[in-house]
Amino acid sequence: MYRITYWLLYGHYCYSLVLGTLHFRYDFNNNKAYITPFITYYTAVMNVLALTTLPWTYYTAVCTFLQKERVGRPVLYIFIAVKTLRLLAVALVIVYNWQRRRDILKFIRDINHLRCVYFARFPVPFEWQRRFEMKIIKNMLSGVVVDALRLIIVLGVYKNHMNASFVISNVLFSLISNILYLNMSHYYFFMQTIILFGNVLNRQLADIIKSAKSVTRLRDHQRCRKQYKARCLTLSRELDEVALVHIQLQSLALRINDILKW
């Protein structure tokens, strides 16, 4: 992993902790996730603050929008609908993530266990690793840039109606809305990791098929019968292992879809 990718992931992790999106700590050195009392209490307080702040940010935004001249009804309805749906989505994500926090923790432990037990034996090609990291970097930076641009545009459009409560409410709205972005980023990262593992598994299966073709040449040689049987047993065990890991990857993909579906 490139150093820049590591620091971006670490910054993303710290940002998620500060906003209360993650309900556990992660040790990057030992690749272990665990729950601490401080994190539990902190995330609970942050989630409650976010939920209680939502009505105020909504009210301030609508009142400021109504102060702008020449606001038509269609524009007003669209603004209120978008604002309402976004805040309801944030509230839903906060409540649902809190209920599934132990499921997420178990998922992380299971995928780390599978990586250490099986995939650690097979090096990931440089091109695959680079493509994986570029997708993660683009996903993380795009969310930050889009939200920053949205905040700048709003402040620019309403500069004549700007006051302290308006600025604070919009900053808080951007921070709270980032819960949605962070949640989607976590889902994207997990799915890209599963896809990367799936590609490694496909390459391993291709190697087994290639080895099986070469083993068939030993079948017709009397002197190579023992070697033929030994190679067949080895390939059979490797194929069973690939099938088992494939089932586990499918299970992980279904689980993360269920955990972060909202």
Pick the closest to residue 97 from 260, 238, 243 (CA basis).
Answer: 260
> Which residues contact residue 218 at a Cβ distance below 8 angstroms, ignoring those fewer than 6 apart?
224, 225, 227, 228, 231
pLDDT range class, residue 66, cuts 50, 70, 90: low
pLDDT of residue 220 exceeding 70: no
Copy the structure tokens of residue 222: 């009397």
Pick the closest to residue 155 from 143, 141, 173, 140 (CA basis).
Answer: 173
Is the pTM of the predicted complex or chain greater than 0.85?
no
Segment 27-35 shows an average pLDDT of 82
Measured CA to CA, the distance from residue 172 to residue 179 in angstroms comes to 11
Query: Measured in whole angstroms, how far is the alpha carbon of residue 44 from the centre of its chain?
Result: 21
- Residues pairing with 97 in the sheet: none
pLDDT range class, residue 86, cuts 50, 70, 90: confident
pLDDT tens-digit map of 35-58: 888 888 888 888 888 888 878 777
Percent of the chain with pLDDT over 90: 6
Place of tokens 């087994």: 208
Provide the 8-state DSSP code for 119: G
Segment 167-189 shows an average pLDDT of 80
Helix 164-215 / helix 126-157 crossing angle, nearest 10 deg: 160
Three-state secondary-structure class, residue 23: coil
Note the pLDDT of residue 251: 92
> Which residues contact residue 48 at a Cβ distance below 8 angstroms, ignoring those fewer than 6 apart?
none
Segment 219-237 shows an average pLDDT of 73
pLDDT of residue 72 exceeding 80: no
Place of tokens 């809305």: 177
Copy the structure tokens of residue 67: 């102060």
Backbone angles phi, psi at 46, to 5 degrees: -65, -40
Q: Is 31 left (phi over 0), alpha (psi -120 to 50) or beta?
A: left
Pick the more confident residue, 198 or 226. 198
- C-alpha distances out from residue 75 to 55, 60, 83, 146, 169, Å: 21, 17, 12, 21, 21
